[in-house]
Amino acid sequence: MNTHRLLLALIACTACTVSFGQAWPSKPIRLVVPFPAGGGTDIIAREVTQKITEATKWPFIIDNKPGSGGAIGLDNIAKSPADGYSLVLGQTSNLAINPSLYKKLPYNPVKDLAPISMVASAPMVLVVATDSPYKSIADVVSAAKAKPGIINFSSSGNGTVGHLATELFQKEAGIKMVHVPYKGAAQAITDVIGGQVQIYMGSVPTVIGHIKNGKMRALAVTSLKRVDDIPQTPTIAESGYKNFEAATWFGILGPAKLPKEMVVKLNAEINKALKNPELQKKLSEQGADITGSTPDNFGKFISGEMSRWGKVVKESGASID
């Protein structure tokens, strides 16, 4: 073999070593949560990664990057290296709602991200402080109709599913409330409990602890059937608004060019973790339903939800520059 051929062979072998010889993962995997710590997305991210770590010894770092309804966190991953060390736990608002809500979104959920697996879904719940004068959906509607704009409602950000679900409810009920957006669920909830804002619509995992410890009162859930953990709380549908339904869902994605073998490996370990009885119990206690999926099915689901929520955004008239 001449010198030129030998050099080419050495380069090829080196490439093989880099691509296939190094065990992945060989360092911590960063999972971006596009909301502050303490919210439903953050809780689910920590519970799921803990079980994956217990089973595989893969270390995870939770990286909270809140802002713009989750767009900042999603954009960070869309622009990260596709090396398997940067992932994101996306959900309804930043994957299905933001594309229609924002006039200039820095990422495209379909083109810039690789779906790996759905994780869970959860209905929303309309809550007030325990000392609130509103004891039911009917009380809220009656007060809002008597004095339009007298009731403020908080959300974890413009364009989040809580925001759009409340807009949808207002349309169904024929009322008008004032939206007060926050950068995440934690402060939005704190201000409802403190009386600065009257109402909050959030995922069950986000508020279930406050309901159980008596700081918040649940008025209605957005699923078509009641939630097992708060069975005394009626659905919005049975409260007089037939077929009203809204839910938030969560799934893990990576940058668009994430190698297929990494997607397959991550999908397998995520779905294995989701079958863990302890994790299922913890998420169930938080009001979340385990889903799981193949990468392809998750991708198709995202596209369908973009179309569905796009219609809600258009009908609500909501828009962000």
Enumerate domains of the chain plus CATH numbers: 25-121+248-316 (3.40.190.150), 123-239 (3.40.190.10)
Helix, strand, coil fractions of the chain, as percent rounded to 5: 45, 20, 35
Query: How far is Cα 121 from Cα 262, in angstroms, rounded to an integer?
Result: 24
Q: CA angle at residue 264 from 11 to 249, to 5 degrees?
A: 135
Identity of the residue numbered 181: P
Query: How far is Cα 78 from Cα 26, in angstroms, rounded to an integer?
Result: 22
Query: How far is Cα 262 from Cα 26, in angstroms, rounded to an integer?
Result: 13
Q: How far is CA 310 from CA 5, 19, 97, 156, 264, in A?
A: 57, 40, 6, 19, 30
Which residues, at least 6 apart from 49, have a Cβ–Cβ distance to it below 8 Å? 31, 60, 62
What stretch of H or E contains 309? helix 295-316
pLDDT tens-digit profile, the chain (321 residues): 454 554 444 444 444 434 434 689 999 999 999 988 988 889 899 999 999 999 999 999 999 999 887 899 999 999 999 999 999 999 998 999 989 988 889 999 999 999 999 999 989 999 999 999 999 999 999 999 999 999 999 998 887 889 989 988 998 999 999 999 998 888 999 999 999 999 999 988 889 999 999 999 999 999 988 988 899 999 999 999 988 988 889 999 999 999 999 999 999 999 999 999 999 998 887 778 899 999 999 999 999 999 989 988 888 777 787
Burial class (CB in 10 A: 0-12, 13-18, 19+), 108: exposed
Query: How far is Cα 180 from Cα 188, in angstroms, rounded to an integer?
Result: 8
Given this model, what pLDDT does residue 274 score?
97
Query: How far is Cα 41 from Cα 254, in angstroms, rounded to an integer?
Result: 16
Given this model, what pLDDT does residue 2 score?
53
Task: Kindly state the tokens that stand for 147.
Answer: 């004095």
Task: Kindly state the tokens that stand for 4.
Answer: 């030129």
Q: Kindly report the pTM of this predicted structure.
A: 0.81
Given this model, what pLDDT does residue 5 score?
52
